[in-house]
Amino acid sequence: MWSWVAHRVTGVLIFFFLFVHVLDTALVRVSPEAYDKVVATYKTPIVALLEYGLVAAILFHALNGLRVIAVDFWSKGPRYQKQMFWTVMGVWVVLMLGAIYPVLGHAARVLFGS
C-alpha cells in the first residue's frame, strides 16, 4: 500500500517540477534579467537539497514503475511483488548513495569550502 502512495506522490512531485521548469525556462523570452535572477537562486545549497529530493523522487518513481509493470504483465508478478519491492528499495538506496557527491558536492563546497 505504501509503495502505491509513494508512487503517486512522487509522480505529482515530478509533475510540479516539470511545470515550474517550463515556467522558469519561459522567463528567458519575457525577461532575460528575471531569468538570470531565477537561475542564480538555483545555485544555493537549499536548492541543491531540493535537487537531491528530485533525484530521489525520479529514481523511486522509475524503479517502482518497472516493478508495477512486472506485477501487471508477468504471470508470477503478484506472487513476488513484495520481494520485488524490497529489491527496488535496495537498488534505490544504492543509487541514492551514489548520487550524493554529484548532486550535493557543489553545495558542500559552498558551505564548507573546497
Binding residues: 61
Question: What are the Cα distances from residue 57, in Å, to 28, 51, 76, 114?
Answer: 27, 10, 27, 29
The DSSP line for 59-85 is HHHHHHHHHHHHHHHSTTTGGGHHHHH
Binding site as annotated, residues for heme = 61
How far is CA 101 from each of CA 8, 28, 36, rounded to the nearest angstrom? 28, 30, 26
